[in-house]
Structure 1
Amino acid sequence: MKNIICVLSFVLTIISCKEEAPKDYILLSGTILDAPSKEFRLSHKDAKGRFTVKTAEDGAFICDTIFSGTGTYRFSGKGMNRIDIYLANGGEYNLTTDGKDMRSTSVLTGPDSNASKYLLTEDSRRDRLRGDFEEFNSLNESDFSAKASMIKENLIKYLDSFPDLPSEFAQFEREQLNNYYLLSLVRYQGRHGRNLKQPDFRVSKEFLKPLEGVDFTNEEAYKHRGWYDELVKEYFVLKAVDLADKEGIDKYLAKLKVFGEIPNDYIKNDLLEAASKYDIAYTDDMDAYYRTFMAVSTSTENNKVFTKKYDDLKKLSKGAPSPVFTDYVNNAGGTSSLSDFKGKHVYIDVWATWCGPCLAEVPALKKIEKQYHGKNIEFVSISIDTQDKREAWSKMIADKALGGVQLLADKDWSTDFIKAYKINSIPRFILLDPKGNIVSWNAPRPSKEELITLFNELGI
């Protein structure tokens, strides 16, 4: 009997000493107070996994199927209400936050919590160091460069002040801070020019010296998200601006030429694909844009998709019958259809109450409407706000005293009229002739002098 007990004791000792197999999952639970929605999303920053998080009536939630591994995750609600947190395999974490302001109220407990504490506070610290965004980008070159460098060095010291950070995380975040600094330099030319209303503003070569020696073709870093992919994109866009200046060509065509010379096929094709989604709607010569894209792209799939888009857009050429809309809600009462405006030129503004660039065009649009009042032209604004925002749409029309015919699209972005015109960014302006045929499916904005020139050419 004693021998049996000894054997059992020996076996139990071996079992108790045996290392427990590491967990290959992450457990995240917590409470989201005062949440405007009952559904949130958790996504790995390297696109390794995406999870839907649903809260109970009291705001409690649990997400226990996270198998995408250690890394930085984004926990997000609607719009910009989101935070970044660090989760490690085998860890059990608890998140408490206010659902309406996650950025300033979130607390995460669990393994390697200092990594998340850094992520949850880094953005607000950068904002305090930078100060007013417009003022920052309005600084002259030397002052901007000095302040951008100060922000980077301060944030590096801040990162280093957190003890026991995972080494891989700390290294990546240090690279992030340097990439963000370089990105701010690359973006300065465009932002400074816009702030001072000087579109032809160009930075000096000295200003961009910190970019010398940077590898802009690192495919692994590009796929790793963070700020590197943005830096790469903006750097080559800046080179395209230089090429457009030098050769006097369309800036969208210049982008294709610059992107096409990138030696890394993955980065090249990714930038070409992203640019082609939008730029073909704005280029001066759609046919030249298509030929150039096909000449430099090495992705069979991208070429197939882009060819279809090109063929569809060709149907919107000058003189072709316009796609129509029928019975859109009219803010003045009742409904309106495109056929109601036959016999007049129709200048259509596709916009939304949440679109900053759209609202920036309002003063110029109101001025032109007044200038052409009584002429053979109708100004029609179509909002793609969702139907549940109808009250806010009407209120903005009243508050800003918007003129013309104010219509609400029936299915926001999915509206047939919007899809027919291949609109995937706003504002978009469309000009039709009195017969309902297309004059321009991408007409000049009200703030551009070219619009008046076009109106004069048409004898409006």
Structure 2
Amino acid sequence: MKRISAIFILILLAACKTNNTVDYAILQGKIENKGEYKKLTLTNNDRDFKYEIDIAEDGSFQDTLNIDSGVYTLSLDRRKYISVALFDGDQLTVTSDAENFADSLKFEGQGGNENILLQSINGKIKDFDQNRKNDYTLEEGAYKSLILNQKSKLMSLLNASEVINPLFKDQQTRYINYWFVHNLQYYQNSHRYFTEDPDFVVSKNFLDEAKAIDFQIEEDYKGSKYYNNLVNIEHREIADSLVKDGFKSVRQARLEVATQFQSDYIRNDLLYQTIMGTLVFANEFSADYNTYLELTTNETQKAKVQEKYNQVKALEKGNPSPAFTEYENHSGGKTSLEDFRGKYVYIDVWATWCGPCKAEIPYLIEVEKKYHDNNNIAFVSISVDKEKDYDKWKTMVKEKGLGGVQLIADNVFNSDFIKAYQIMGIPQFILIDPEGNIVNRNAPRPSSSELLDVFEELKL
């Protein structure tokens, strides 16, 4: 009887242990010199995930996190952030100084060893990648040997630590491999650019390691930016191959290819990225929007897409263009869009601080000169420089001999015209017809040969 009771107790204890499995992590610590900071934010590659942790007046914080195990970004603001690994059962203590957030980090407690190691691995990767543009000029064999050697050093760093969570070790092994393959994927185009050899093509077996990647791992898609990029590259390449075989459009191909990914999360995110890019840049997008609504199963993303669609549907080709009124003209006086009625208007939205904008200037000058005597088109540049850069704008227009009509927006990116066109980044080029209707809200850049093709089609 005693033997039966003892066995029963052991079974009961085992059951209790199973039922009490920890499915959360505790994150606590203190931020010295916190100043005005009131929250820490946890995010990852999941566009729908954002978790805020309150910081007390004395800089301390503590939260119990019922979230998926993995690597997250812990941030005070856009410039102060770190990667942090959190696994079920961790009780991680993080201390740092807000004035020197990343470099003053200390980790203690369960999960501390993993995070100390994570910072070391990420630091090595940062060091390796800082000189990458020089590496891209290497011959492909030498380049691949270099990347393999760097991967070996990262794996040695990972394997040197024995007192770490095996789940973390397995995860980081995958992540280091994604970093390695990611560097291989970017070699061909980067080598072409830095060696000025546009016809360069890597050898047949150069990307063999990419063939072994499993593109269905949701955890890695959320946690590793390199894996996330690799999945997106795979998505684009399959879609591009369909287009080459005669598929109706690039955007429809990408929507179709997204459905081939087995992970619901990855599939929906690829659909979401495709349609949001379409709504931001395309001139005709209703058909793609309707296809997206049929394919997605993520209601949160669907609601965001519907909101965006309602914002931009007035920007489809053929609709009346938003207008600007009484913008200051560099040559003097005020100028409005209505002043160009009866002409095509090619608008460059730019700023003096924008590198890509300035890179387009020589090409824009050449195009403007080519059509300088053509009364059927006007070239208008609208600066979104802040008030503090006003004199810089005045000087740059003069020194660079910018042609066309040079204007400055009345309220930077908050100007009605800029907001109406949903402009989030510059340069952006807009083409409007003589009746004031939109031809292309994301027209080809002056550096693209496509721009002159467009002008020829319009018989300019």
TM-score bucket of the superposed structures, by smaller chain:
0.7 to 0.9
Contact 2:279 2:308 in 1 (8 A): no
Give, in whole Å, the separation in 1 of the partners of 2:236 and 2:206: 17
The residue that corresponds to 2:104 in the other structure is 106
DSSP 3-state at the match of 1:451 = helix
1:171 maps to a residue whose letter is D
The residue that corresponds to 2:454 in the other structure is 454
Question: In 2 relative to 1, CA 176–30 (structure 1 residues): closer, same or farther, beyond 3 Å?
Answer: same
The residue that corresponds to 2:395 in the other structure is 398
The residue that corresponds to 1:115 in the other structure is 114
Map 1:200-239; keep pairs closer than 5 Å. 202-224=201-223, 226-239=225-238
Contact 2:283 2:316 in 1 (8 A): no
Shift of the alpha carbon at 1:148? 2.2
Contact 2:312 2:422 in 1 (8 A): yes
DSSP 3-state at the match of 2:444 = coil
Shift of the alpha carbon at 1:144? 2.9
Contact 2:41 2:76 in 1 (8 A): no
Contact 1:383 1:408 in 2 (8 A): yes
Shift of the alpha carbon at 1:265? 3.8
Q: Deviations over 1:87-110 (max 9, x none)?
A: 6767463533463x644x233142
Give, in whole Å, the separation in 2 of the partners of 1:55 and 1:205: 57
Shift of the alpha carbon at 1:164? 2.2
Give, in whole Å, the separation in 2 of the partners of 1:247 and 1:138: 35
Map 1:129-168; keep pairs closer than 5 Å. 129-168=128-167
Contact 2:32 2:96 in 1 (8 A): yes
Give, in whole Å, the separation in 1 of the partners of 2:161 and 2:235: 35
Map 1:175-254; keep pairs closer than 5 Å. 175-195=174-194, 202-224=201-223, 226-247=225-246, 250-254=249-253
Shift of the alpha carbon at 1:210? 0.7
The residue that corresponds to 2:432 in the other structure is 432
Question: In 2 relative to 1, CA 219–83 (structure 1 residues): closer, same or farther, beyond 3 Å?
Answer: closer
Contact 1:137 1:144 in 2 (8 A): yes
Shift of the alpha carbon at 1:329? 5.8
Contact 2:285 2:316 in 1 (8 A): no
DSSP 3-state at the match of 2:28 = strand
1:398 maps to a residue whose letter is T
2:433 maps to a residue whose letter is D
Shift of the alpha carbon at 1:268? 1.9
Contact 1:244 1:250 in 2 (8 A): yes
Contact 1:217 1:264 in 2 (8 A): yes
Give, in whole Å, the separation in 2 of the partners of 1:189 and 1:82: 31
Q: TM-score, structure 1 length as denominator?
A: 0.76
Q: Does 1:277 align with 2:284?
A: no
Shift of the alpha carbon at 1:343? 4.5
The residue that corresponds to 2:365 in the other structure is 366
Question: In 2 relative to 1, CA 90–275 (structure 1 residues): closer, same or farther, beyond 3 Å?
Answer: closer
Shift of the alpha carbon at 1:446? 0.8
Contact 1:186 1:235 in 2 (8 A): no
The residue that corresponds to 1:29 in the other structure is 30
Question: In 2 relative to 1, CA 72–292 (structure 1 residues): closer, same or farther, beyond 3 Å?
Answer: closer
Question: In 2 relative to 1, CA 437–252 (structure 1 residues): closer, same or farther, beyond 3 Å?
Answer: same
Question: In 2 relative to 1, CA 246–327 (structure 1 residues): closer, same or farther, beyond 3 Å?
Answer: same
1:433 maps to a residue whose letter is D
Q: Deviations over 1:32-71 (max 9, x none)?
A: 58x8x74664315486652266697xxx722234545675
Give, in whole Å, the separation in 1 of the partners of 2:53 and 2:331: 41
Amino-acid identity (%): 31
1:364 maps to a residue whose letter is Y
Give, in whole Å, the separation in 2 of the partners of 1:330 and 1:32: 47
Contact 1:331 1:394 in 2 (8 A): no
2:51 maps to a residue whose letter is R
DSSP 3-state at the match of 1:144 = helix
DSSP 3-state at the match of 1:325 = coil
Question: In 2 relative to 1, CA 201–421 (structure 1 residues): closer, same or farther, beyond 3 Å?
Answer: farther
Q: TM-score, structure 2 length as denominator?
A: 0.76
Q: Deviations over 1:157-197 (max 9, x none)?
A: 12223452233222222211111212222333444445456
Give, in whole Å, the separation in 2 of the partners of 1:119 and 1:458: 56
Contact 2:431 2:438 in 1 (8 A): yes
The residue that corresponds to 2:3 in the other structure is none
Give, in whole Å, the separation in 2 of the partners of 1:452 and 1:225: 41
Give, in whole Å, the separation in 2 of the partners of 1:169 and 1:331: 59
Shift of the alpha carbon at 1:277? 0.8
Question: In 2 relative to 1, CA 200–426 (structure 1 residues): closer, same or farther, beyond 3 Å?
Answer: farther
Map 1:346-361; keep pairs closer than 5 Å. 346-352=345-351, 355-361=354-360
1:30 maps to a residue whose letter is I
Contact 2:181 2:210 in 1 (8 A): yes
Question: In 2 relative to 1, CA 395–73 (structure 1 residues): closer, same or farther, beyond 3 Å?
Answer: same
Give, in whole Å, the separation in 2 of the partners of 1:219 and 1:135: 34
Give, in whole Å, the separation in 2 of the partners of 1:156 and 1:226: 18
Contact 1:106 1:120 in 2 (8 A): no
The residue that corresponds to 1:445 in the other structure is 445
Greater Cα offset, 222-231 or 441-450: 222-231
Contact 1:38 1:55 in 2 (8 A): no
Shift of the alpha carbon at 1:312? 6.5
Contact 1:73 1:86 in 2 (8 A): yes
Give, in whole Å, the separation in 2 of the partners of 1:154 and 1:257: 40
Question: In 2 relative to 1, CA 312–72 (structure 1 residues): closer, same or farther, beyond 3 Å?
Answer: closer
Question: In 2 relative to 1, CA 255–145 (structure 1 residues): closer, same or farther, beyond 3 Å?
Answer: farther
Contact 1:326 1:338 in 2 (8 A): yes
Give, in whole Å, the separation in 1 of the partners of 2:312 and 2:328: 27
Question: In 2 relative to 1, CA 181–335 (structure 1 residues): closer, same or farther, beyond 3 Å?
Answer: farther
